[in-house]
Structure 1
Amino acid sequence: PKGEKWHLKLIELMQLNLPIRCPVLSEKTTKMLDEYRAFRHLFRNIYTHRMIPEKVMKMCDKLLQTWQGLKTDLDNFIDTMEETNA
């Protein structure tokens, strides 16, 4: 993806079920990753002047859950692709 919103487009593309591959990410993981993407954008553009500790802590609290969801999705994707190509 190209353009200003390439991060968002990439996440959205990874959720699609395409003829050449199954979805890489589940809807739940997509939403969690998009929340981090949006937070990063705000942090880089706004929070340098007015950081909100509660928002930072909220994102930190969700990090392990997000990582576990991403790892599960990637493992499932690899397994599915290996089964398809076997």
Structure 2
Amino acid sequence: MECAVYDTYVTKKDGRIMHFDVVVEASTPHEKAIEYGKQYLVTAGQAGQKMTSEECQFCHIQEAPPFVEKAIRQNGYWIQKMEGCPP
């Protein structure tokens, strides 16, 4: 599966930066990727933090590894946690 990767930097409630990628099927609209990122913020305890096309920018297209493809088929997206994300 070809997937689109959106590089995302959100300022957390404590002022620190949370860096993660929102990974979706390649034909998914950018607005939907932002919506998925906001869903992740809720689960990360960061509901209501600013997340727009400014914080969540298209990065590249790549082939999804099997575990990412499975998550996208089940949930519509995969979050690749980078820096400042809860475990």
TM-score interval w.r.t. the shorter chain?
under 0.3
Give the structure, 1 or 2, with the largest relative contact order (CA under 8 Å, sep 6 or more): 2
**What TM-score do the two structures reach when normalised by structure 2?**
0.25
Tell me which protein shows more helix as a share of its residues: 1
Tell me which protein shows more strand as a share of its residues: 2
